[in-house]
C-alpha cells in the first residue's frame, strides 16, 4: 500500500510539473500592427522615439523572459516606406554593433506576409551583454508596407527548437 501511495504522489508531482511549462507559448498581436508573434510568456510593452536612416519614428516593443532567454519584438511605421530596406540594414548594423557581435551569420528571412527585400534577414551572432558577459543573439529584420520589424532572442544558449518556434510564429496579417 505504501508503494502505491508513493507512486501516486510521484505521478501527481510529474503531472503538476507538466502543467507549469518553462515556455507557455501564446499568440500576441503587436500594438497597432499587422504582426502576430508567438511568444513563450506574457510580454511587457514599451514605446520610445528613435531615428533610423534619417527617419524619426516611435518604436513599439514587447518582450519577456522565459527559460533563461529574452524574447523581444519591435516595430515602427515609416513616413517613407520606400526607405524600408535602408532602415532595416541600419537597424541590423546598430543592433550588432551595440552587442559587439563577431562574425554574424545571415540568411534570408521573409515571414508569412512580409515583403522580400534584401535586408530582410535572420542573423545569428555572439556578442556581449551590457555587463560584459557573452550572449548569443538570434535576430531577424523584416518589413510589410510602411512597417518595419525586428525580432530577437538573447540567451546564453538556445535550442534550435525554441528558436524555430519563435521565428516560425511571426506572421503578418
pLDDT digits (tens, 9 = 90+) for 70-95: 999 999 999 999 999 999 999 999 99
Distance CA 46, CA 81 (A): 23
- pTM for this model (two decimals): 0.86
* 4-11 CB contacts, 8 Å cutoff, 24+ apart: none
> Residue 59: enclosing H or E segment and its boundaries?
strand 55-66
- In order of start, what are the domains of the chain with their CATH numbers? 22-172 (3.40.1000)
pLDDT digits (tens, 9 = 90+) for 29-76: 998 899 999 999 999 999 999 999 998 999 999 999 999 999 999 999
Position of cell 528571412? Answer: 109
Amino acid at each position: 500500500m505504501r508503494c502505491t501511495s508513493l507512486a501516486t504522489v510521484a505521478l501527481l508531482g510529474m503531472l503538476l510539473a507538466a502543467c507549469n511549462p518553462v515556455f507557455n507559448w501564446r499568440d500576441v498581436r503587436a500594438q497597432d500592427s499587422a504582426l502576430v508573434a508567438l511568444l513563450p510568456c506574457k510580454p511587457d510593452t514599451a514605446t520610445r522615439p528613435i531615428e533610423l536612416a534619417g527617419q524619426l519614428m516611435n518604436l513599439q516593443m514587447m518582450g519577456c523572459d522565459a527559460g533563461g532567454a529574452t524574447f523581444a519584438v519591435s516595430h515602427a511605421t515609416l513616413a517613407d516606406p520606400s526607405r524600408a530596406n535602408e532602415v532595416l540594414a541600419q537597424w541590423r548594423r546598430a543592433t550588432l554593433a551595440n552587442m559587439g557581435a563577431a562574425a554574424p551569420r545571415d540568411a534570408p528571412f521573409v515571414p508569412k506576409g512580409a515583403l522580400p527585400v534584401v535586408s530582410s534577414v535572420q542573423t545569428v551572432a555572439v556578442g556581449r551583454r551590457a555587463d560584459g558577459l557573452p550572449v548569443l543573439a538570434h535576430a531577424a529584420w523584416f518589413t510589410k508596407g510602411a512597417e518595419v520589424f525586428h525580432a530577437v532572442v538573447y540567451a546564453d544558449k538556445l535550442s534550435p527548437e525554441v528558436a524555430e518556434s519563435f521565428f516560425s510564429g511571426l506572421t503578418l496579417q
